[in-house]
Each structure stands twice: as structure tokens, then as C-alpha cells.
Structure 1
Amino acid sequence: MSETAAKTRANRPVLALAMGDPAGISSELTARLLSLPELRSAAHLIVIGDRRILDEGAEAAQIALDLDFRTVSDFSTGPAERPVFVDLGHLDPADVTRGEATLAGGIFATENFRFALRLANEGRVDGVCFTPFNKKAMRYAYPGYDDEIRFVSDVLPFKGKMREFNVLERIWNARVTSHIPLSAVSAHISEDAILAEVELTVACLRLAGIDNPKIAVAGLNPHAGDGGSFGMEEIEVIEPAVARAKAEGYAVEGPFPADTVFLRAVKEGFHAVLTMYHDQGQIAMKMMGFDKGVTMMGGLPFPLCTPAHGTAYDIAGRGTADVGASREAVLLAAKMAVRQAGLKETAHNTD
């Protein structure tokens, strides 16, 4: 890569955008994203999918796709001023059953995602985004599919720690456990696990431009255990973990009762809430901003972002899908990619 191209990417990163499940609102959202001038200003978009599916999404959204972008069968060149659409030509719209999870839809989404991850792994893009997947359809196509983290771990050689974050403009949600049964949560909470999540959360917040992040930690039990009356995890595990995090210099407070921790976080200016399990944070975050929430996979060498909502089968094809969360996902990925590029450049210059 030339020095000029590297500088261009450092200020306006190249992002791969994989089209998601074709039976839902993903194609409509992709078309809407391509029409937003603020996204073109923030990043060079490389969209991956099937042009026929994109055209159907544009028709639903009532967007004329006589937009200034280039359609190719592969992406092998550097960033250009125009967005690029990589047409894999792998799904006939006649094979899509709107509002239904199918094998064909799962194959379409997994192939798009795999292609985008390959570009990131090869350093040809600086970040990856995708419009919503349907987990049932993904499992049809990829039986080992539990979630995006599992899929990424299988596709990429990266073996470090990844974790899912939910993001709103004013607050992030991290969690110690994620896609496991509620009955298994307590056994998976430890001082080391909590401290590792604090460290990763701080690193991701800094990539997003928050240099001195402040984190509120939720308890596990009702009233954060109420001094041991409703459980001992706060006393035996969570409080010692918070103390260790403070000793290492992190701005961490808690544990706070889960039913008020988000209210406290907003009022007192915390940047993130670390919850103990999936729904403890998800319910609060979606209540605060379902239409703008972003899911970010932290820990990878590149940002990976998607809207926090699902495929919305019930409104597929109606042209009413809100692009807000998808827009925020692309903008967050762009911001983090710029920051990550700056850190890499600093590290290179100090070697």
C-alpha cells in the first residue's frame, strides 16, 4: 500500500458491509445505508451480497439505486471515492421466502459474512459491519453456529478473547456471561472473569474515543445480595473483583443493584455498565434506544459492528425499516477503525 493510500485509510477507513438475512429487512437497510451521504464521508464502503437482492431492498425502501457506486465480482483494489458492491451472484430472489428462516437465506448471509471477514483478515478492509442475521437460518447453513462470536472464531485464525457489547450513544453495556442458560450464570462468574471484562471494556471504549472511561458494575442477585440475604456472589466474587480493578487503576464502581444500575449510570455519567448476564443489560439497553442500539464485537484486531435489533420478519418488504441502528453501527466502526489505525501507526513509529 502506498503512503498516500495509507494516510487516506487512516482518516477515512475502508469498511466491509455484509448483507444479512434476505428474508427480513437486511436488503432494505443495505440500500438505505448506501444512500446516506454521511456514511460516504465517514468511510469507504465495500458492500457484499447479490445485486438482485439489493435491488429488491431498494425497491422496498423506494430508493433509486442509480447511485454512484461500482459493482464488481471481487474486491482486489484499494479504496476509491465511490462505494463498491461485490456481487457474489449467489441468490436468486425467487428462492427467497419473505419472513421465513431458510437454508438459502442462511447460506447467503454466511457467505457474505465469511467474505467480509476474509477481507479484514487480509488487511484489505479496516472494519466489518453487517445488516441483521437470523440465527435459525444461520444454523441451517452452518450447524455449529451459536452466535457471531462462534462463527468469527471458526472462520478467522484469531484466538484471542472476543466479547459482545451493546452500545448507545450515551452508554455501553458489557457482560461477564452471554449466551448461556441462566442456571449456569453463577458458576461462570469469577474475579478473573470480571476483571478481564473490565479490561476489555476499557480498551474498546478508548478505541471509540472515550479516553477515561468510568464503569458501573451490576450485582447478580436482587438488591445486589442485600448484604448476603439474597446470595453471596456480591460479597465473595464481585466486590473483590471491583477492588482488584480499582487497584489496577480502572475507574470502576459497584456492585450496584441491577434494577437501578442503568439509572445510576445515566445520572452519574458512567460510560458503561458491566452486567453479569445477557438479559440483565439487554432489556435496559433496548428500552433506552432500540432504534439506535449497536452490537459491537470487541477484542478483534478490527471493529465489527451491527445493529442490535433483528431481522424484523414481520415488516419485511414494507419499506418501513428504521435505518438508525445500522447507520450508528457503520459510524461506530468507522470511528474505531480510525482510532485503531492511529494506535498501530504510533506503535510502528516507536519500534
Structure 2
Amino acid sequence: MTTARPRIALTLGDPAGIGPELAAKVISRPGILDAVEVYILADRAELERAFADARLPLVPLSDEPTPGAAILLDDNSAPAEEIPVGQVSVAAGARAMHQLERALALVKEGRVGAIVFTPLNKTSLHLAGMHEDDELRWFAKHLEFEGTTSELNVLDGLWTARVTSHIPLSGVAERITAPNVTAAIELLNTVLVDAGLTPKIGVCALNPHAGENGNFGREEIDHIAPGIEAARATGINVSGPFPSDTIFLAAKRGDFNGVVTMYHDQGQIAMKLIGFDGGVTISGGLPVAITTPAHGTAFEIVGQGIANTRSTEHAFDIAVSVASRRLND
């Protein structure tokens, strides 16, 4: 019996950045195209430039799933004028969005089980018409998904989710409610299980010293602890709230493989101090796994062939793992 291969849609990210080079390098790894059906969203000329930037020979291409070859979905839509590299532009943002829309269409058609995209530039995306707070909300809109979502970050076996994300700090406290805390815990638990892990989740406090019994704020008492208890009542292995200045020390020594934070930088600062290279961002909660490296477009090194692939490799491998589990469940 032949085991079905996971099917991954791959976009080259912002064409002005290092994304095309990263995509070329990641699918050139030995054995990848034997184990995975990779659908590349790009015109052939774009793909050839990507491999030239990566200083690698073009991988074998096929019109249909073939072990050892990638499938290039060239819709002959590249702009007539070359997009300038190493800088923000409407054209770069529009090109990145076009290919992401095509990847989402593949999901809707049931042709792929996960999407991997290389780094995007938010300014270029906004110039090109992406007006949502972030790509996650844009994905949810295009997938007509209205459930709970959260940007998840992964580094060296540690996964984080957030109760709030891309909002001002002044608006965080009012959104820390027991249902929102429970929803973030449940989402992280689901994604950990989807990735084949046994969840051990810790939850951050919002206030210094976890509120110190209400002396520094009551969010822990009134909202966070009840949210944790509601999640625990469903069978989730979760504990807290813990002071945010110590929880990541506990996670680093292995007490948790998942941490729920209350706001964006509460987790991001800690994760990037633990290790910047290798980080992955996951659009959590959506009906399809969507992953990307947790770094930017690195305009300053475009075309030099020196882009570090560690984060992109991890993003690709996580997408493959989730797609494989769903395919074989």
C-alpha cells in the first residue's frame, strides 16, 4: 500500500525580498519532493530567478503529482515590468497577495492540505490593499471563517498563542475576559494535538507578580483564572496564571510546550531572546495549516544567496506534519 503524500501550496512571499531564495532552498533539500507534493504559485521566470538567487539548479517540474518533482502553477500573470528588489512597492504587495489568493483557492478546492509562504512586507501589502490588521485576518476573510483565530509562534519545541494580538496596549485589559482566555487555550491545545504533541500549557498573568492577590490588578482573579479553569474542565492540561517574567524560564526547562500570553510582545520578546533563528509563525484556528518563517524580508541581503533557511525549513516541516496527520486520520 502506498501512503498518500501531503500536499503543500508554496508561495514565494514578497518578490522584493529574500522569500523567493528561501523557497528555492527549502524545496531543494534532499528527499523533500519525493515525500511531499509541492504546488508552487509563481510564473516560471519568477521561479528561475529564485533558484538563480539561491545559487541552485532548478528542481524538476511536472504538470501532475510526480515523486521527485514539484508542480508549478504558472498562470502567466507576472507584471510586464520587473518588480524592484530591496524596496517597498505596491507591485510587490499586489504580487504577494495574488499568489496567496491562489493558494487559498487551492485550499477551497481541496487540492492542498497546508500553505507555506515566505516573508511578506506589511507596508507593501497595505499599499496594495490589504487593510486587515494582519495576514491572519485577511486569510480568515478569504476563507469565510468566523471562528477563533490566533497568531501562534513556534521555536525549538515551544509554542505560544495570544489572547490579544495586534492592538494597542491601552486596549489589552478590556479584552482579557474568561471566554477569550479559554478560547486561546483551546486553540493552542488543538494545534499542539494537530502537530502530534501532548499538550502541557502554561498561561501568563497580565499584571506584575500575577496581580499579587489583587494589589496590582484583578484581571488574574476575575478573568484569567476562571478562563483557565473552564479549559481545564474540558480535560486540557493547563495551569496558571504565572508571572510573565518567569513562565518562559519554566517553559525553557521543559515544564510547558505551550504558553498562552495576554498580548503580543509579552510572548514575542521572550521567544526572540530564546532564539531568533528558527522561529515560525502559524495562522492558528483556521481550517487549514498556514505557516511562515517568523522573520522579515531582509531587503539588505536580497540576491546574495546567503539567506538563512532555518525558519523556513521549520515552517515547511510543521506544515507537512500537520497536513500528513490530517491526510492519514
Partner residue in 1 for 2:60:
68
**Structure 2: which amino acid aligns with 1:237?**
H
Equivalent-residue separation in structure 1 for 2:233 and 2:116 (angstroms): 36
Which runs of 5 or more residues in structure 2 are unaligned?
A: none
Structure 1 stretch displaced more, 320-329 or 160-169: 160-169
The question of 1:227 aligning with 2:220 is answered: no
Flag the 1:93–1:273 CA change in 2: closer, same or farther, 3 A: farther
Give the count of matched residue pairs: 328
8 Å CA contact retained: 2:39, 2:72: yes
The question of 1:48 aligning with 2:41 is answered: yes
Equivalent-residue separation in structure 2 for 1:154 and 1:244 (angstroms): 29
The question of 1:29 aligning with 2:29 is answered: no
- RMSD of aligned C-alpha atoms? 1.8
8 Å CA contact retained: 1:39, 1:330: no
Write the mapping of 1:68-147 to structure 2, written as runs, cut at 5 A.
68-70=60-62, 77=64, 79-81=65-67, 82-92=69-79, 94-147=81-134
Equivalent-residue separation in structure 2 for 1:170 and 1:44 (angstroms): 25
Flag the 1:90–1:294 CA change in 2: closer, same or farther, 3 A: same
Q: CA deviation at 1:172?
A: 0.2
8 Å CA contact retained: 1:95, 1:104: no
Moved over 4 A (4+): none
Partner residue in 2 for 1:328:
314
Equivalent-residue separation in structure 2 for 1:94 and 1:33 (angstroms): 27
Structure 1 stretch displaced more, 100-109 or 262-271: 262-271
Q: 1:309 aligns with which of 295, 299, 302?
A: 295
Instruction: Classify the secondary structure of the residue corresponding to 1:95.
Output: coil
Partner residue in 1 for 2:159:
172
Q: CA deviation at 1:89?
A: 3.1
Q: Structure 1 or 2: larger helix share?
A: 1
Partner residue in 2 for 1:205:
192
The question of 1:18 aligning with 2:4 is answered: no
Q: CA deviation at 1:8?
A: 4.0
8 Å CA contact retained: 2:160, 2:260: yes
Q: 2:237 aligns with which of 239, 247, 251?
A: 251
The question of 1:297 aligning with 2:289 is answered: no
Instruction: Classify the secondary structure of the residue corresponding to 1:340.
Output: helix
Structure 1 stretch displaced more, 46-55 or 35-44: 35-44
8 Å CA contact retained: 2:279, 2:293: yes
Q: CA deviation at 1:239?
A: 1.6
The question of 1:214 aligning with 2:200 is answered: yes
Q: CA deviation at 1:290?
A: 2.0
Equivalent-residue separation in structure 2 for 1:93 and 1:219 (angstroms): 52
Equivalent-residue separation in structure 2 for 1:172 and 1:110 (angstroms): 27
Equivalent-residue separation in structure 2 for 1:334 and 1:233 (angstroms): 38
Equivalent-residue separation in structure 2 for 1:147 and 1:52 (angstroms): 29
Q: 2:50 aligns with which of 50, 57, 72?
A: 57
**Structure 2: which amino acid aligns with 1:89?**
N
Equivalent-residue separation in structure 2 for 1:273 and 1:143 (angstroms): 29
Equivalent-residue separation in structure 1 for 2:290 and 2:321 (angstroms): 12
Partner residue in 2 for 1:185:
172
8 Å CA contact retained: 2:140, 2:286: no
